Amino acid sequence: MFEVGLYRPSGEGAGDRIGIIDGSGNIGADKVDFGVVALGIDPPQADLSDLRPMQAGFEGQVELSGWRANRDPSDPQRLGVDLGWTALDRADTDYTAFVHLLDGAGNIVSQQDHPPGSVDNPTKMWLPEERIRSTFELALPVSTALNNLMLRIGLYEPVSGRQLPVTHFESESGEAGSTFILLPLDLQ
């Protein structure tokens, strides 16, 4: 975030911010917030080359560009899900991603939600064409059959809970719902 303000360097009130006067002569805030500012740099690019390519756009702002799911060899009851994201446009809010592991009957058997760029890189700071990679760790319940499992993936606004609609979907497998995508898993 980029903020600009003035302060008194010395004398009485040294270090205090100086208020900004609006067009009516009233003192308003003591700083101007310019939000996220990019200074002529290309957006960071995470390596997504080892992910299964796909295109699933969410509200024209964020695209799920690839995915991979692997069982942890040291802990076979853990499933790591790597997701690759591409910013299509500037987001006006910080979204949270959800990854649900569904059994053959469509019941959630494991899930994890967190910001796709982590708390250090929220979606409203992403620049168009920036590529981001995130990992979700899911527990595989011992009683879960490993056939017919699906991943349900989407984005939502954490304050309102509103899920972002899927605006386009292209993948060699899977299908799109109105606010999520479903990807088949083969863990046997």
pLDDT in 10s for each residue of the chain, 188 residues: 567 767 777 777 777 777 777 778 787 777 777 666 666 677 779 999 999 999 999 999 999 999 999 988 899 899 999 999 999 999 989 999 999 999 999 999 999 999 999 888 999 999 999 999 999 999 998 887 778 899 999 999 999 999 999 999 998 888 988 999 999 997 75
* 30 and 56 together in one domain: no
- Residue 112 sits in a domain whose CATH number is 2.70.50.60
Range of the domain at 139: 52-185
* 28 and 68 together in one domain: no
**Prediction pTM value:** 0.79
What separation in angstroms does the CA of 161 have from each of 34, 58, 179?
27, 15, 12
Query: What's residue 143's pLDDT?
Result: 80
Assign 3-class secondary structure to the chain: CCEECEECCCCCCCCCEECCECCCCCECCCCEECCCCCCCCCCCECCCCCCEEEEEEECCCEEEEEEEEEEECCEEEEEEEEEEEEECCCCCCCCEEEEEEECCCCCEEEEEEECCCCCCCCHHHCCCCCEEEEEEEEECCCCCCCCCEEEEEEEECCCCCCECCEEEEECCCCEECCCCEEEEECCC
Name residue 123's beta-bridge partners. Answer: none
Query: What's residue 142's pLDDT?
Result: 82
* 171 and 139 together in one domain: yes
* 87 and 9 together in one domain: no
Query: What's residue 132's pLDDT?
Result: 97
Query: What's residue 37's pLDDT?
Result: 61
* 82 and 170 together in one domain: yes
| Residue 114: half-sphere exposure toward Cβ, Cα within 13 Å | 15
Q: Contact, 118 vs 136, CB < 8 A? A: no
Query: What's residue 107's pLDDT?
Result: 94
Total structural domains within the chain: 2
Name residue 17's beta-bridge partners. Answer: 7
* 21 and 69 together in one domain: no
What is the spatial distance between Cα 31 and Cα 27, in angstroms, rounded to a whole number?
A: 11
Q: Does residue 43 form part of some domain?
A: no
* 98 and 171 together in one domain: yes
